[in-house]
Amino acid sequence: AGAGAGAGAGPALRSYPHSAVLDGAGSYLLRWGRRGSALALRLEVRTRGYVGFGLSASGGMASADIVLGGVKGGQPYLQDYFTDENRVLKKDPQQDYHLEYAMENSTHTILAFSRELHTCDTNDKSITESTVRVIWAYHHKDMGEAGQNYHGSNRGTKSLRLLNPEREEVSSASLPFFDLTNKDVPVPDKDTTYWCQMFKIPVQHEKHHVTKVEPLIQKGHENLVHHILLYQCSSNLNDSVLDYGHECYHPNMPDSFLTCETVIFAWAIGGEGFTYPPHVGLSIGTAADPLFVLMEVHYDNPTFTEGLIDNSGLRLIYTPVLRKYDAGVIEAGLWVSLFHNIPPGMPEFVSEGHCTLECLEEALGAERPAGIQVFAVLLHAHLAGRAIRMRHFHNGEEQKLLAYDDEFDFNFQEFQYLKEERTILPGDNLVTECHYSTVDRIRMTWGGLSTRNEMCLSYLLYYPRINLTRCASIPDIMEQLQFIGVKEIYRPVRTWPFIIKSPKQYKNLSFMDAMNKFKWSRAEGLSYNQLVLKLPVNVRCSKTDNAEWSIQGMTALPPEIERPYKTEPVICSSSSCLSCSLFLTLLCIVYTTASTIGNTGPFV
């Protein structure tokens, strides 16, 4: 079987509840699990040479935190490295990765090791609940053989959440399911397409619970299908709406599509299936449940590829064994509109969308005075997005963040399970805080549907289901325009975007053209940002079936909140070999003395 090191087979596989295949060929499997203040990792790689693993802010080699290891001549080795901004590999003077098990057989190398989440080492990346861009590589030879061994094409990157809370997986193998999939949709040769197709839920007349939703992405279209939203539509429709799909948000779009306002599920690129907690399910089959649903698929085709035909969609797995609660979804954040805008050339710009206390007071006060329980959140932005936080205020006091991603990756968006369910009460405030970078842009970035436009949204999965589907805000546009010197617009407003009357330099320009004409500097952008965050907001507070709570359309002031958000202090612990168990200490000595690794290596 080959050479091994460590006790028995190393830590049991149950120590690594999460796993991901990092490469397309299935040659590199990562398993991991949290162990107190440390993370335990296990690499299973189809090679008899070295294996590389790392954490990177960008997904590239620059300024990365790297570990390299393998088994050579029967002796295990593992070494902590880092790269500088020029991608030069250097041995880390503080060795924070600790080998626990190593094995090599005729085909594979297996390495099990651990590392503290926060190591006090400036060359290491802290491991948090944010997205982590994992980088990987391997070579058929061990380190030091034949000099510098470059990994060639055996390398890549994958975004993951390494601190996923463990969740109870209920086997769904024997449960019934139905698929909602597009049928031969011709994807236009344009940048962004939203395609809408109406479906009828096949389960009727008796209540069931959907327990899991899985994406069915056509092979080869993993980068084309950017996100899928499932909306509940009016139950007064008839089967004639099922006959054809159509581009969403199009002037010729069927009127029936306008009745589909309530998001009941959201999936975005990079995400996997979503399993509901054991006590919650998405209700189907009763008069209050979705009968007609609209599936909106966002196709992202920046290369304008012609002739693409897509059949992607969703699989819904359900059970007649009812759970205690029905799940609901609330869309919170910034209403998608041109009133949300970001100046060009800004290394950081912050936008905030408010689920206001006025909306939550009215809706929860009427429907659920005891509050709702949020159990998962999906944070959503587009290409300029860099970080998103969901802030929660109760009686004006800030609570722990509901959800956050300080390393937001446009290509990896999925529901985050909360470690502990959070109660949202009448009169609470929820603020979706989005951080953007537009340093590479020379024109304004506008709120909108294209991936080149921006969004700032949070989708909250909660129970028990109430009649609140959207809790959002729009900032006041006139005060934004006054910042660039606009004095008057033509009234009544007959065109969109509306036209400016004065001053002279903006006369007869649309407000979009005027904002683009303004000479933005970073200092101006910063001043504008400070203004926008304090502006009154227009409240959006929606029910199902296009109905609205009475607070809809009212003006409210954003809450007085501390900016920037103060992150909780990190307690870091340097775990040198002295703090390892005796077994690890001995293993450290073995691989340190047996290693022939120098100060530079092949991981470039």
All structural domains of the chain with their residue ranges? 18-160, 176-323, 324-476+535-570, 477-534
pLDDT the model gives residue 205 = 85
pLDDT the model gives residue 167 = 67
Dihedral Cα 90, 94, 98, 104, nearest 10 deg: 20
pLDDT the model gives residue 288 = 85
pLDDT the model gives residue 601 = 39
Cβ burial 570-598 (10 Å sphere, 16+ → b, else e): eeeeebeeeebeeebeebbebbeebbebe
Q: Is 138 a catalytic residue?
A: no
Which residues does 435 contact at the CB level (< 8 Å), separation at least 6? Answer: 348, 349, 350, 385, 386, 387, 388, 408
552 secondary structure, DSSP code: T
Structure tokens at 464: 């028990």
pLDDT the model gives residue 399 = 95
Rounded Cα distance, 89 and 64, in Å = 9
Rounded Cα distance, 599 and 391, in Å = 44
CA-based diameter of the chain, in Å?
82
Which residues does 25 contact at the CB level (< 8 Å), separation at least 6? Answer: none
Which residues does 160 contact at the CB level (< 8 Å), separation at least 6? Answer: 20, 131, 132, 134, 412
Q: Which residues of the chain have pLDDT under 50?
A: 1-8, 146-148, 576-604
Rounded Cα distance, 135 and 129, in Å = 18
Q: What is the pLDDT of residues 516-560, one digit of tens each?
A: 999 999 999 999 999 999 999 999 999 987 789 999 999 999 888
Rounded Cα distance, 165 and 433, in Å = 23
Structure tokens at 592: 């340190």
Residue with tokens 């949290």: 34
Adjacency order of strands within the sheet including 555-556:
416-424, 372-380, 457-463, 328-334, 470-475, 537-542, 555-556
- State the CATH architecture for 176-323: Sandwich (2.60)
DSSP 3-state of 115: strand
Domain 18-160 has CATH 2.60.40.1210: yes
Q: Do domains 18-160 and 176-323 have the same CATH topology?
A: no
This prediction's pTM: 0.83
Q: Is 244 a catalytic residue?
A: no
Say which of 97, 138, 194, 318 is annotated catalytic: 194
pLDDT the model gives residue 398 = 94
Say which of 380, 382, 392, 435 is annotated catalytic: 380
Structure tokens at 490: 């033509």
pLDDT the model gives residue 518 = 97
Q: What is the assigned CATH class of domain 324-476+535-570?
A: mainly beta
